[in-house]
């Protein structure tokens, strides 16, 4: 009788606990597991839909494109294409695929790439002849504009996909025709937007195709389990063509979105890698030898800046913009406020950008901190000692760091120029919507390079470009970028782009550069190999292994 | 009872309409990104989601979807891999079990504490208990949570620090969440019990020579519990709002975090789904406490009929 009672009791306990939705132990794959705090719930796992770094980290495990990133240098290396040729004019790229399969054993061919790329270019609702059945709106579709006809097709100006420069001479060959020589195309095809997707699953399962148990991919890992808001786990893909190189059995991405919670999880040994850091804790961590060794902050391919709305007086006057720029002591900001090794900025180009020949920084020849010149320029613009200068607003999206920087700059402008600005703190989506609508005076912004080429840091400021948002335009600037596009000599090309940067950041100053980013992360020392500091914070999981 | 049910449905409808419009008043939308998406893609998304139509028409379409069986909560706009229900369902399970555990703790500890304080009215035990209760009311979850975490997880290492792996993960967040309702329950019971202990019922019971324990637990306690019942409705509401904070602190994949993130991301469909679940929960809880009250207290019955 008592035994029966106990049984009933334990069944009830099991039922109650079973309905609590516990995630259970995540490391059921033995020791070769890496648990990472990814710091945000990933959006879609569909490569065509990706826009954030959180998803890209997962995509690098699940998929492989034509080429893939070298873990140390990030230079493109063979991926699904075992080799590739570029025609002499740089406009025709031929990729030779190695024999490989999807994780369900189906062979992967050049047609899979054509399907995936076409799907990126075809927004939903267009229903053109031969379009993907399950179409999506790809936020990075414009990266494909370098391909012949892609831009027109994407915008619905041409309906015939044959006009897009893709060809498959056979199942193992993909030929891509580019509008111009595009040296960074090799880098582009490593990006999620260019990754193949399994048509046989996508069209059949549609929105559900990225669910665990359904999803088929072609990378070193496959999706094992996913709990929105909690974690995502991938496990080794035995059918990956280079499965021998893959050493980790499994990777867990925790969706912890508060960085302080993630750091606590690290301290409690629940994760080994936190993809972010709270700069307020930098001093304490660096003071501790063990924690100090875990904290990394390499330079990152991005720049933090302010946009001036040049449609609004007095910001339509270049002297005012230059004066506001010269008045800001950017070194003081990186030294005292950001404090994670960020470099003060004079130009838009981050110092970790690798070019051949090397990029000549504007530091020392651009609008560096110079209070004297700032005052003189403001006086010349008709506002001696700031007299008569209207009250401008400085908007930023709510964030401790943004606020500290805004307050510092507000004080600098008051001290140096004698002008007042009002700080406007807005929620992120509101901030972005207002910025896009041109409804601001001065607005905080940033730009992260899409690929390793100076073009990515200049193109977005072309006249009328969607990300320009300042109302500024310059024919000379656009012409220099156009000239660089057709220039085949590398040194000449870099010279043209440098001239463009000078117009943007010195002569015209629609942007006020503050600093170049670093990416701080915390990685348990001595536990993993194959993770290298690099300029885009990309760490292909294929090469990571756990140390004994 | 039928009127109350009908009123509940009307309340739900009012909440739905209000939240639908309020969301659209807030500037910014789900497709405003740091790096602009191409205009063609943006327009396609706006068309696909019907955001180009007048808001009342959008609301009509949404409500029409809800009338289907099973109700169509649509996909999440920002996490399009999932339908809203696929996101909200498992999270509701987590939040509900956390809230239920906290409520149990609050009642199981709060009621005896209240009795203890009332019996020892004015003495040390009363003062200590009420100090604890007052602290529970005064210290907010965002202070108590990290404090408990620091002591029991990081310093002593007895309990897991965060996440929702197994039952041990439930302890700290449940106690953090229980602090406020525990304190309230104790105070409610203490004050009602105090009145009853000085009243006629107890005097009669004592005069019959019954033991003090019998007097307190059999004759006084049921009456002292009456104010606790109507309080269960608001208590549930406070558990719901409290869990938003507690889930953040302990990194629990519950409904509260979904609601906040959804609002910040302008994930219209996800926010609506969460609002629906929350509203139904609160309306049901209020109906339930009303029913319970009628069952327990004859006076409520006569007053209503």
In this structure, what token pair is assigned to residue B172? 């700290």
Cα A173 from Cα A83, distance rounded (Å): 10
Interface check for B155 against chain A (CB to CB < 8 A): the answer is no
Q: Are B159 and B152 in contact (CB under 8 A)?
A: yes
CATH number for position A110? 3.90.76.10
In a domain, A171, yes or no: yes
What would the pLDDT profile of A154-189 be if each residue is shown by its tens digit?
998 998 999 999 999 999 999 999 999 998 999 999
Q: What is the pTM assigned to this prediction?
A: 0.89
In a domain, A59, yes or no: no
In a domain, A368, yes or no: yes
Interface of B with A in 1-30 (CB under 8 A): 26-30
Q: Which residue has the higher pLDDT, A299 or B304?
A: A299
CB atoms within 10 A of CB B198: 11
Instruction: Write the residue in A16, A124, A447 that is nearest to B44 by C-beta.
Output: A124
**Which pLDDT does position B300 carry in this prediction?**
62
Interface check for A207 against chain B (CB to CB < 8 A): the answer is yes
In a domain, A491, yes or no: yes
Sketch out chain B's domains with CATH numbers.
Answer: 84-304 (1.10.3720.10)
**Which pLDDT does position B298 carry in this prediction?**
64
Min Cα–Cα distance to chain A from B174, Å: 13
Instruction: Write the residue in B27, B257, B258 that is nearest to A434 by C-beta.
Output: B27
Interface of A with B in 127-146 (CB under 8 A): 136-142
**Which pLDDT does position A261 carry in this prediction?**
86
Contacts of A141 in chain B (CB under 8 A): 37-38, 40-41
**Which pLDDT does position A18 carry in this prediction?**
66
In a domain, A26, yes or no: yes
Interface check for B52 against chain A (CB to CB < 8 A): the answer is no
In a domain, A58, yes or no: no
Residue B166 scores a pLDDT above 90: no
Interface check for A269 against chain B (CB to CB < 8 A): the answer is no
Interface of A with B in 288-347 (CB under 8 A): none
What would the pLDDT profile of A358-393 be if each residue is shown by its tens digit?
999 999 899 999 999 999 999 999 999 999 999 999
In this structure, what token pair is assigned to residue B188? 């409610």
Q: CA dist A111 to A74, A198, A513, B118, Å? A: 27, 10, 44, 79
Cα B170 from Cα B96, distance rounded (Å): 12
**Which pLDDT does position A318 carry in this prediction?**
97
Instruction: Write the residue in A43, A142, A447 that is nearest to B38 by C-beta.
Output: A142
Question: Are B41 and A466 within 8 A, CB to CB?
Answer: no
Q: Average pLDDT, whole number, for chain A?
A: 92
What would the pLDDT profile of B6-42 be if each residue is shown by its tens digit?
988 999 999 999 999 999 888 888 888 878 888 888 8
CATH number for position A23? 3.40.190.10
In this structure, what token pair is assigned to residue B214? 């019998």
Mean pLDDT (whole number) for A343-365: 94
Q: A358 and A324, same structural domain?
A: yes
Compute CA B101 distance to the chain's CA centroid, rounded to the nearest angstrom.
11
Q: A380 and A241, same structural domain?
A: no
Residue B118 scores a pLDDT above 50: yes
Burial-class residue A151 by CB neighbours within 10 Å (0-12, 13-18, 19+): buried
DSSP bridge pairs for A96: A83, A173
Q: Which residue has the higher pLDDT, B103 or B288?
A: B103
- Interface probe, candidates B24, B29, B31, B34, chain A, greatest A C-beta count within 10 A: B34
Q: A325 and A436, same structural domain?
A: yes
Predicted confidence band at B297 (pLDDT cuts at 50, 70, 90)? low
Q: Average pLDDT, whole number, for chain B?
A: 86
Least confident of A265-274, A325-334, B287-296: B287-296
Residue A19 scores a pLDDT above 80: no
Rg (CA), chain A: 26
Residue with tokens 């309020």, as numbered in its chain: B22
Residue B305 scores a pLDDT above 50: no
3-state DSSP assignment of residue A392: strand
**Which pLDDT does position B194 carry in this prediction?**
84
What would the pLDDT profile of B45-101 be if each residue is shown by its tens digit?
898 899 999 999 999 999 999 998 888 889 999 888 999 999 998 888 899 899 999
Q: Are B162 and A264 in contact (CB under 8 A)?
A: yes
Q: How many residues does chain B have?
A: 305
What would the pLDDT profile of A107-150 be if each residue is shown by its tens digit?
999 999 999 999 999 877 777 777 777 888 999 999 999 999 99
Q: A420 and A344, same structural domain?
A: yes
Q: Are A326 and A371 in contact (CB under 8 A)?
A: yes
Cα A17 from Cα A473, distance rounded (Å): 62
Note down the domain range covering A90: 64-199
Cα B152 from Cα B165, distance rounded (Å): 17
Number of H helices, E strands in chain A: 17, 21
Q: A350 and A422, same structural domain?
A: yes
Planar angle of CA A6, A9, A15, nearest 5 degrees: 140
Mean pLDDT (whole number) for A64-78: 95
In this structure, what token pair is assigned to residue A486? 């057709």
Compute CA A433 distance to the chain's CA centroid, rounded to the nearest angstrom.
20
Residue A400 scores a pLDDT above 90: no
Q: A135 and A28, same structural domain?
A: no
Q: A415 and A339, same structural domain?
A: yes
CATH number for position A430? 3.10.105.10
Who contacts B68 (Cβ-Cβ below 8 Å, separation ≥6)? none
DSSP bridge pairs for A445: A305
Question: Are B48 and A267 within 8 A, CB to CB?
Answer: no
Q: A502 and A461, same structural domain?
A: yes
Q: A179 and A226, same structural domain?
A: no
Contacts of A45 in chain B (CB under 8 A): 81
In a domain, A534, yes or no: no
3-state DSSP assignment of residue A215: coil
Who contacts A103 (Cβ-Cβ below 8 Å, separation ≥6)? A216, A217, A218, A222, A237, A239, A240
**Which pLDDT does position A540 carry in this prediction?**
96
**Which pLDDT does position A269 carry in this prediction?**
86
Question: Are A264 and B48 within 8 A, CB to CB?
Answer: no
Q: Which residue of chain B is at minimal alpha-carbon distance from A212? A: B81
- Max distance between CA atoms of chain B, in angstroms, equals 86
Residue with tokens 């492989």, as numbered in its chain: A64
Predicted confidence band at B197 (pLDDT cuts at 50, 70, 90)? confident
**Which pLDDT does position A2 carry in this prediction?**
61
Q: A146 and A240, same structural domain?
A: no
Interface check for A265 against chain B (CB to CB < 8 A): the answer is yes
Interface check for B87 against chain A (CB to CB < 8 A): the answer is yes
Cα A150 from Cα A148, distance rounded (Å): 6
A24 phi/psi in degrees, rounded to 5: 80, 175
**Which pLDDT does position B304 carry in this prediction?**
46
Quick one: CA dihedral A50, A53, A59, A60, positive or negative? positive
Q: Is B163 left (phi over 0), alpha (psi -120 to 50) or beta?
A: left
In a domain, A326, yes or no: yes
Q: A464 and A385, same structural domain?
A: yes
Q: CA dist A72 to A66, A133, A535, A538, Å? A: 19, 39, 10, 9
Least confident of A323-327, A334-338, B226-230: B226-230
Residue with tokens 């409610």, as numbered in its chain: B188
Q: Are A414 and A420 in contact (CB under 8 A)?
A: yes
Q: A191 and A153, same structural domain?
A: yes
Instruction: Write the residue in A26, A429, A447 that is nearest to B266 by C-beta.
Output: A429
3-state DSSP assignment of residue A250: strand
Please state the domain count of chain A: 3
């Amino acid at each position: 009788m008592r035994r029966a009672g106990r049984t009933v009791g334990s069944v009830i306990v099991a039922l109650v606990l079973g309905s609590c939705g516990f995630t259970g132990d995540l490391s059921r794959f033995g020791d070769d597991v890496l648990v990472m705090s990814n710091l945000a719930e990933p959006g879609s796992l569909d490569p065509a839909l990706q826009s954030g770094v959180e998803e890209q980290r997962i995509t690098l495990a699940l998929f492989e494109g034509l080429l893939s990133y070298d873990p140390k240098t990030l230079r493109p290396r063979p991926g699904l294409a075992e080799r590739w040729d570029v025609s002499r004019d740089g406009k025709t790229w031929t990729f030779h695929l190695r024999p490989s399969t999807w994780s369900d054993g189906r062979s992967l061919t050049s047609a899979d790439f054509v399907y995936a790329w076409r799907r990126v270019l075809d927004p939903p609702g267009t229903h053109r002849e031969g379009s993907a059945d399950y179409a999506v709106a790809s936020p990075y579709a414009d990266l494909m504009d370098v391909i012949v006809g892609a831009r027109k097709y994407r915008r619905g100006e041409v309906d015939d996909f044959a006009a897009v420069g893709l060809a498959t001479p056979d199942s193992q060959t993909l030929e891509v025709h580019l509008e111009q020589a595009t040296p960074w195309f090799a880098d582009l095809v490593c990006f999620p937007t260019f990754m193949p997707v399994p048509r046989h699953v996508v069209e059949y399962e549609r929105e559900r195709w990225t669910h665990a148990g359904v999803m088929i991919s072609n990378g070193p890992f496959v999706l094992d389990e996913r709990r929105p808001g909690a974690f995502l786990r991938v496990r080794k893909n035995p059918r990956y063509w280079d499965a021998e190189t893959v050493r980790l059995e499994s990777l867990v991405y925790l969706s912890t979105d508060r960085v302080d919670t993630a750091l606590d999880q690290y301290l409690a040994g629940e994760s080994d890698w936190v993809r972010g850091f709270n700069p307020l804790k930098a001093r304490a961590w660096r003071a501790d030898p063990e924690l100090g060794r875990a904290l990394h902050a390499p330079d990152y391919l991005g720049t933090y800046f302010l946009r001036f709305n040049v449609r609004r007086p007095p910001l339509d006057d270049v002297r005012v913009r230059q004066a506001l720029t010269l008045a800001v002591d950017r070194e003081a900001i990186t030294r005292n406020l950001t404090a994670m090794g960020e470099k003060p900025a004079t130009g838009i180009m981050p110092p970790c950008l690798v070019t051949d020949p090397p990029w000549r920084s504007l530091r020392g020849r651009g609008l560096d901190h110079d209070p004297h010149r700032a005052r003189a320029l403001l006086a010349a613009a008709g506002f001696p000692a700031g007299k008569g200068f209207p009250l401008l607003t400085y908007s930023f999206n709510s964030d401790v760091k943004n606020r500290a920087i805004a307050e510092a700059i507000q004080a600098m402008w008051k001290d140096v120029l004698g002008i007042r600005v009002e700080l406007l703190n807005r929620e992120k989506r509101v901030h972005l919507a207002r910025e896009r609508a041109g409804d601001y005076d001065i607005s905080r912004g940033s730009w992260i390079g899409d690929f390793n080429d100076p073009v990515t840091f200049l193109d977005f400021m072309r006249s009328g470009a969607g990300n320009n948002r300042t109302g500024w335009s310059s024919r000379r600037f656009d012409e220099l970028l156009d000239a660089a596009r057709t220039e085949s000599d590398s040194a000449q090309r870099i010279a043209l782009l440098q001239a463009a940067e000078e117009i943007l950041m010195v002569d015209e100053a629609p942007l006020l550069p503050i600093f170049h980013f670093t990416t701080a992360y915390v990685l348990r020392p001595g536990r993993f190999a194959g993770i290298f500091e690099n300029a885009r914070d990309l760490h292909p999981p294929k090469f990571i292994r756990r140390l004994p | 009872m039928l009127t109350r049910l009908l009123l509940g449905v009307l309340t739900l409808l009012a909440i739905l309409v209000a939240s639908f419009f309020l969301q659209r008043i807030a500037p910014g939308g789900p497709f405003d990104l740091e790096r602009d998406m191409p205009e063609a893609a943006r327009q396609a998304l706006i068309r696909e989601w019907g955001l180009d139509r007048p808001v009342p028409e959008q609301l009509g379409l949404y409500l029409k979807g809800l009338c289907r069986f099973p109700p169509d909560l649509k996909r999440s706009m920002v996490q399009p891999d999932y339908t809203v229900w696929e996101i909200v369902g498992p999270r509701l399970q987590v939040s509900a079990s956390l809230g239920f555990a906290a409520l149990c703790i609050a009642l199981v500890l709060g009621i005896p504490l209240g009795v203890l304080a009332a019996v020892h009215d004015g003495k040390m035990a009363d003062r200590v208990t009420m100090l604890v209760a007052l602290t529970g009311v005064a210290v907010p979850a965002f202070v108590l949570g990290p404090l408990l975490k620091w002591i029991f997880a990081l310093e002593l290492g007895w309990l897991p620090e965060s996440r929702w792996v197994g039952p041990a993960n439930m302890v700290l967040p449940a106690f953090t969440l229980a602090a406020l309702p525990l304190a309230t329950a104790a105070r409610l019971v203490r004050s009602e019990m105090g009145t009853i202990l000085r009243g006629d019922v107890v005097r009669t019971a004592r005069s019959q020579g019954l033991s003090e324990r019998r007097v307190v637990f059999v004759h006084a306690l049921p009456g002292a519990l009456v104010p606790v019942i109507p309080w269960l409705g608001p208590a549930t509401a406070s558990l719901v709002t409290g869990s938003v904070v507690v889930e953040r602190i302990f990194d629990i994949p519950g409904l509260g975090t979904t609601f906040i993130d959804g609002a910040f991301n302008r994930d219209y469909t996800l926010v609506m789904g969460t609002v629906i679940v929350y509203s139904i929960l609160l309306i049901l809880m209020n109906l339930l406490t009303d029913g319970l009250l009628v069952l327990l207290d004859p006076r409520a019955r006569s007053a209503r009929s």
